[in-house]
Structure 1
């Protein structure tokens, strides 16, 4: 069954990219629900197994039925290109309880057991309790399981957005959207997404939020209902190498050439990263990392680009060749 989204001229002007810490947090809960289907995330699952096993995720899982959609209030599309988790969870906590109740009822219509459990918890009598309990679980998942990995995840998401923005400028929306996923096709101003819903919508000038995600592969998910701007969430590029740790010790030749610190940084930049992210990953002082990055950049092994308030470093072609040889 397909979802069809019809664009008019105004919609082309209102398409934008964003990434969402809140989305990745609730998507991480989906991965924990079905770990057998997440080959790319196995290193992360192994790394977080103890913390996840100690958490009670029941309130959140009730709103993630295998049949039927997740309520829209649980993870609305971000209003800003790179909103913080704190900003996004505050929006969830501020949801009108009556609106949350109606959205939840619609979502759980095809999941009678989850609906019965929601009634047993008193959520439908007092949806404010539901908002508080679910928001608390989301904060726990973020703090314990996602936030420690967020610097490398965010770097990967931002690199995808940079790449897609360049492709959009070079080839236009009609060629970009089918590149995002084989589940997407484009014809005469209509985006068709092959998914498990049968939905059709004229965007009516609101455009589309395009959101890369670490945890969504191999699916594409659309959040299309009012009052939010329609959004399309798709797998980010580069997830194969996301959880790959740098080899330690770094290759002997590379270490002799660059020194241990610079060699470790060059090897670690499988995906773009910030100074702070590299310092955390390699357990080095940020000042040392900054000094090494300057030398590597001046040697033509790295390039730097500004993304919002941050500077992302990535290997040049020469840096890739040297890292591979090392």
Structure 2
């Protein structure tokens, strides 16, 4: 039953969902390095707070529950299914986990044509402009191809040209290469019609 539910409900949109989740992990990994765990938790969700003692995580929700992790660690997991709430699980024997709403969930189903200014499409061509504007968060070639309804080979060609022009950078994360806009790419994608 679970496999049938996955195939019917999640699998058709999985490339797009996975791209959003991977972009969230990449973004929050950078933020963790920049602001530390205490700073990051408040950014993940306003219900999360790291106490001044540097040892206590508080989740603002009804009821009272306390758990000492004892060095077990805490998994921070983005989700496309829990907005706007934070979900937590601390019951042994499972790994303590805080599930928070993924960044960008509001724009998950927004079409690229709505994001691409006409002036940019005239400058770069519709395909390249759509690829540049679709990169609001870092994404892989396959995720962009799925989101834009283009062939992966076409998206790959556009990404190469945009990267060579200094509008994108690419970074390897595990088995995938994720593309992100440079400051110049952000400025161009932000132009008005």
1:285 and 2:156 aligned: no
Give the number of the structure whose alpha-carbon radius of gyration is greater.
1
Does residue 224 of the first structure (1) align with residue 90 of the second (2)? yes
Higher relative contact order (CA 8 A, sep 6+): 1
Q: Tell me the secondary structure at the aligned position of residue 166 of structure 1.
A: helix
Q: Is 1:319 the counterpart of 2:156 in the alignment?
A: no
Residues 254 and 284 (structure 1 numbering): CA distance in 2 closer, same or farther, change over 3 Å? same
Secondary structure of 2:188's counterpart equals helix
Rounded to whole Å, the distance in 1 between the matches of 2:7 and 2:31 is 34
In the other structure, the counterpart of 1:310 is 176
Provide the secondary structure at the position in 2 that maps to 1:262: helix
Q: RMSD between aligned alpha carbons? A: 2.1
Bigger drift between 299-308 and 203-212 goes to: 299-308
- Checking the alignment, whether the CA contact within 8 Å between 1:221 and 1:232 is kept in structure 2 is yes
TM-aligned CA deviation for residue 207 of structure 1: 0.7
Task: Provide, for residues 150-175 of structure 1, a one-character-per-residue CA deviation record: whole Å limited to 9, x for no partner.
Answer: 22222222222222222222332222
- Does structure 1 residue 147 correspond to structure 2 residue 27? no
- CA separation in 2, counterparts of 1:251 and 1:186? 41
Q: TM-score, normalised by structure 2?
A: 0.87
Say yes or no: does 1:240 pair with 2:109: no
Structure 1 position 249, deviation (Å): 10
Judging by fraction of residues, say which structure has more helix: 1
User: What 5-or-longer segments of structure 2 have no aligned partner?
Assistant: none
TM-score for the superposition, normalised by structure 1: 0.54
**Distance in 1 between residues matched to 2:15 and 2:110, nearest whole Å:** 14
Aligned length: 190
In structure 1, stretches of 5+ residues that fail to align are 1-135
TM superposition shift of 1:271: 2.9
